[in-house]
Amino acid sequence: KKKLKISGRELMSVPAQVFGLDQLQVLEMSPERESCLRYRMELLPREISHLRNLTCLYVDSNNLKKIPAEIGTLSHLERLTLSNNSLSSLPPEMGALQRLHSLHLANNSLTELPAPLCQLRSLTFLDVSDNKIGRIPSSIRQLEKLETLLLLFNSLESLPEDVCLLKNLHTLWLGNNQLRALPTSFGELVNLDWGYNYCSCNFEGNPLESPPPEVCSRGPEEIRDYFLSFCRT
């Protein structure tokens, strides 16, 4: 068996037999999105390390409070979904998941973007929306391949200039934070799909003053001109 889905409203733990499936590649323990269900599992067992061939692990919409350090041994993991849980921190060992390209952490209780995540050089998709994150570390610049960064509904008051070094970003959602100003190099993110697709870079719900929202909505050239005008004066 290469793929296994475990379901059930009363799911509280992973059946022990699963950890004997050493050829398993995809393990899903999440309810269907449309069902609005939430499973009851609070701990991901350390025995998850036995599944060395996992490429995809789906554990959305449970009640996870902790991720074991052993998650870092899953060297083949490419996709990890942990949204809609009760996580307040992540183990530093996650920085070892160098094949990971998609990480979903929306709707947890994270207060910061853990530094180990910035070591995931293969990451192209990161969703940390609807947490309590108040700061983005400057080490985020290491995510050279990142294409999608979702930061909606957090507590961000500022962004580091290093975000502007993420030249492969195509989608950046910053809505519903506490941002009053953008980095002066923000207009350098020219690969964002500005055009008429405003949702590719979302600022709504922020008390933006510099630049004001009407300037932001016009795209990178207008943002660059706005900051250049201050340099001239």
Looking at domain 97-232, what is its CATH homologous superfamily? Ribonuclease Inhibitor (3.80.10.10)
Cα distance between residue 71 and residue 52, in whole Å: 10
Residues 61-71 as b/e (b if ≥16 CB within 10 A, e otherwise) read: bbebbebbebb
Q: Which two tokens stand for residue 203?
A: 């600022």
Model pTM? 0.91
Cα distance between residue 44 and residue 196, in whole Å: 43
Give the residue extent of every domain in the chain: 1-62+69-77, 97-232
Q: Could you tell me the strand order of the sheet in which 201-202 lies?
A: 3-5, 26-28, 56-58, 79-81, 102-104, 125-127, 148-150, 171-173, 201-202
Q: Which two tokens stand for residue 187?
A: 């207009």
Question: What pLDDT is recorded for position 204?
Answer: 86
pLDDT tens digits for range 108-144: 999 998 888 999 999 999 999 999 999 999 999 999 9
